[in-house]
Chains A and B, each alone.
Chain A
Amino acid sequence: MIEVVDIHKRYRGRSVLNGASFTVEKGQITCLIGINGAGKSTILKAIMGLTPLKSGTIRIDGQPMDKNLYESIAFIPDHLTMPPGMKLSEGLRFMQDFYQSWNANRAEELMKFFSLDQTERIGNLSKGTAAKFNLVLGLAQDTEYVLMDEPFSGIDMFSRGLIAEVFSSHLIEDRGVLLTTHEIGEVEHLIDRALLMKDGSICRDFQCEQIRSEEGKSIVDVMREVYQS
């Protein structure tokens, strides 16, 4: 379980995170929803220890973040961070050298699934193809947790379907997944739990099937209540 407890962050005199608290369970897909600039990406970076916090605690399976935990938690940022001059095959090799948790067979399987060409250069990839390769790099690590920042952003509808398919496959099963999005469309029927962010904290935290059966509301209905009032 990833526990985020009362985290605060200020950036350039503005409060970005203002007491956000939540947990991410293993075997569940949790979706962090919020309008642009709500602080979703900052939370992911904070969990990975990539940005300093003013106060608050983050624990992963009870442990504070340290470098060994990078083997059990993968982060897929919203853009590809590999050197553009590398071929895709070299990018995969780079990850293999870097992470013990790298699973080469799974990388192979994902490359086929997304029909990616190993000989292509990373710098020449279109935005959508780069996003797919980014997913390969993150999901091919055998980690307990995966964090994804806007995996659907800027991707055409067919590729979105392909990515959505990954979420319902064994590639995700049993892991704890935390993803961010500002458009719920593709993932509405895929996610277990939704966290709605507003003003730097989590204002709603619910199990999606529960809100449907108990209140007859869709995730979008709840979003409307939160963001239009």
Chain B
Amino acid sequence: MKMNEGWTDVTFNGRDPVYLQVVRHFKEQLATGRLEAGQIIPSRRELGAMLKINPNTAQKAYKEMEEQQLIITEGNSPSRITLDDDLLRSIRSELISDAVDAFVVSVRKIDVPVEELLDIVKQKYLESNETERQVQEGGDQA
């Protein structure tokens, strides 16, 4: 993986703590396989520069991930992603469950029968996959 890939286009919102948004970004990268178990991650300073955030914030994000045992820092060697497979698997389920929870809360108010809802979700999801594929192909040709 090139270091810059998937790192330069991160946009932050103003209301959630930036360090937690950084942690979330790491989890997304892990869930989609762009970061792998045991992989060396950028230094705090490199991360700060890539994401255009304050090095103090990068430091805080790494501390949080160390506490969640998502990354491991031993002595002076660079930090790495954990090798704990169970933990890594749980991240994926955590992200999915968070996203679905948020969706359920907002769709609940409309009171749609679950079968109808599932059909719509399926259709929209396939459509969005298709669009993404076309965009990527278009990008390859250019």
Contact = CB atoms under 8 A, between A and B. Distances in A.
A27 B53 CA distance: 14
A217 B15 contact: yes
Given A173-B45, A209-B60, A213-B20, A168 B55 contact: yes
A190 B54 contact: yes
B12 interface: yes
A29 B48 CA distance: 14
Nearest to B15: A218
A189 B17 contact: no
A212 B16 contact: yes
Nearest to B47: A168
A195 interface: no
B14 A168 contact: no
Interface in B1-54: 12-20, 45, 48-49, 51-54
A209 B53 contact: no
A220 B131 CA distance: 35
Nearest to A218: B14
Contacts of B17: 209, 212-213
Contacts of A104: none
Contacts of B45: 169-170, 173
B52 A189 contact: yes
A219 B15 CA distance: 8
A13 interface: no
A169 B53 CA distance: 9
Interface residues of B, number: 20
B56 interface: yes
A167 interface: yes
B53 A212 contact: no
A175 to B, nearest CB: 11
B15 A221 contact: yes
Contacts of B53: 168, 189-190
A220 B14 CA distance: 8
Contact of B54 (A191, A217, A218): A191
A123 B16 CA distance: 44
Nearest to A184: B14
Given A170-B45, A173-B45, A189-B12, A209 B52 contact: no
Contact of B14 (A27, A170, A219): A219
Contact of B49 (A29, A168, A191, A221): A168
A101 interface: no
Contacts of A165: 49, 52
A153 interface: no
B55 A173 contact: yes
Contacts of B52: 161, 164-165, 167-168, 189-190
A191 B19 CA distance: 13
26 contacts: A27-B56, A161-B52, A167-B52, A168-B48, A168-B52, A168-B53, A168-B55, A169-B45, A170-B45, A188-B14, A189-B14, A189-B52, A189-B53, A190-B52, A190-B53, A192-B54, A192-B56, A209-B18, A209-B60, A212-B16, A213-B17, A216-B15, A217-B15, A218-B14, A218-B15, A221-B15
Interface of A: 27-29, 161, 164-165, 167-170, 173, 188-192, 208-209, 212-213, 216-221
Q: Across chains A and B, which 3 residue pairs bring their CB atoms closest together, nearest first?
A: A218-B14, A212-B17, A168-B48
Given A216-B16, A217-B15, 4 more contacts: A27-B56, A168-B53, A192-B54, A221-B15
